[in-house]
Amino acid sequence: MTAAPGGSASPAPARRTAAGRNAAETAYSYSSDDIKRMLPHRWPMLMIDRAYDVVPGRSGRGVKSVSVNEPYFAGHYPDHSIMPGVLIVEAMAQLVAVVYVAEIVASDDSPAGDPSASVGYLGSISSMKFSRLVRPGDQLRLEATLGQRLGGLRKVSVRATVDSEVAAAGSLIVTTGRTA
């Protein structure tokens, strides 16, 4: 972790240049501790454990390890535990936030202070299709590719897989910052 101007901390991710990418497209990896500094979410709503292959402002991958100890399994469903679809979407949206915040953290003109304050909101879910149940013990692999900016909004393609099977895929629109 590195200190930002003003004494606050910002993530110091592992970096690498992926094959086939130019030097401007360095990919980063973020641990769960890095993610906690990047997002305002906390347990039980912090849905991603790790992010990798993050090209700031462009795309990224992440992991959500699904545990039987998660609170929603007590009621969804007690005798047939499945991860609620809305939480799969939330995990994908949080990966989007990491990709977006990574762009802010990596920029030379990154503002001093808490990078999680720049995380916006989920505005829309489109064409989301759920193709596989997600159960305790599964490892949900997440992918997000940011599209064009539309004013203060951004369209994003997202996908979640388990063991190479698509669990959910669709499009999100997110705000690129918080509004009052």
Which of these is catalytic: 76, 132, 155, 159? 76
Write the CB contacts of 26 (distance below 8 Å, at least 6 apart in sequence).
15, 16, 17, 55
DSSP-assigned beta bridge partners for residue 165: 162
Provide the 8-state DSSP code for 42.
-
Q: How far apart are the C-alpha atoms of 23 and 1, rounded to whole Å?
A: 22
Taking the C-alpha atoms of 129, 135, 140 and 145 in order, what is their torsion angle to the nearest 10 degrees? 20
- Catalytic residue status for 76: yes
User: Residue 146: what are its φ and ψ, rounded to 5°?
Assistant: -80, 135
As annotated, the active-site residues are 76
